[in-house]
Amino acid sequence: MKNQPFVERLRFALAGLRHAARAEKSVRIQSVIFILVLGVMALLRPGPEWWALVLLASAGVVSTELLNTAVEHLADHLHPEIHPSIRIVKDCAAAAVLVAVLGAAAVGIALAAHVLLTK
């Protein structure tokens, strides 16, 4: 499986994205929020630095959500019973999503303040 051509690796990545979007409600919610954020950005028309910050923060949220999904599936597969160590792994993965969401929210608040203060 190593050293697959780029197109094949891209196909694997898109399959993972499709699976996560179908199987995980939180991924669907984050995706809808991302689309709404793009709509707000199109309406506000901020400068390119704000686009970069918002897109980077949004990508961070979706990425951590995907990693959280992968960790949870792997942990459940390897150890289906409830186990204190697995709980810690899953809680830490969920905490990573929370940190990413809080960071993205901070970017959103900063953008809102910028828009309000520059009008």
Tell me the average pLDDT across 28-41: 94
Active site residue 65: yes
Tell me the average pLDDT across 21-41: 93
Q: Whole-angstrom Cα distance, residue 100 to residue 102?
A: 5
Q: Which of 24, 65, 72, 81 is catalytic?
A: 65
Q: What is the pTM of this model?
A: 0.88
Residue type at position 89:
V
Q: Whole-angstrom Cα distance, residue 65 to residue 110?
A: 23
Q: Does domain 6-117 have CATH number 1.10.287.3610?
A: yes
* DSSP H helices in the chain: 6-23, 25-44, 48-78, 84-117
Tell me the average pLDDT across 99-107: 98
pLDDT-derived band at 102 (thresholds 50, 70, 90) equals very high
Q: What are the residue ranges spanned by the domains of the chain?
A: 6-117
Phi then psi for 45, rounded to 5 degrees? 50, 60
